[in-house]
Structure formats: C-alpha cells, structure tokens
Amino acid sequence: MVRRRVLSLLLIIGIVGYFSVPSVAGYIIQAGGQNTLLHKVTTLFANTALSVGNYAFPAAGGFGRLPAAPDKTSVK
C-alpha cells in the first residue's frame, strides 16, 4: 500500500516536471536573444526606482530633479 502511494507521488512529480521545466527554461532563455532574465530584472528594477522617484518628487518632475532652492531675492 505504501509502495503504491510512493509510486503515485513519483508519477505526479514526473508529470509536473515534464510540463514545468520547458516553460521555466523558456522564461530564462528565449530564442530571440541572450540574457533575457537579466533584461527583465533590470527593467523591473529601473521601473521600480522610477516610480519611487516620481512619488518622492512629484512637483519637481520626477526622479532626477531635486526641489528648487528658495529664491534669495525675495527675502527682506
């Protein structure tokens, strides 16, 4: 009885692996180019940094610009 359950479990693991390994490999290495996973991670990081910057400095035009210094001529 235990042997049958172990064999059934191994069969299920084999079926899942048969269908998941090609899709994972296709996600990492696509036929169209090299370093696809690196490109996706870099794009994700850049978009995250850009959105954080736009949230931090919305009035100044987004990330990369600091708020303007106060005008010294208007001080009396």
Q: CA 52, CA 42: separation in Å to the nearest integer?
A: 15
- Say how many CA atoms lie within 13 Å of 73 toward its Cβ: 0
Per-residue pLDDT of the chain (76 residues; tens, 9 = 90+): 899 999 999 999 999 988 888 777 777 666 656 677 777 888 888 888 877 777 776 655 555 555 566 666 655 5
Write out the two tokens for 26: 């296709």
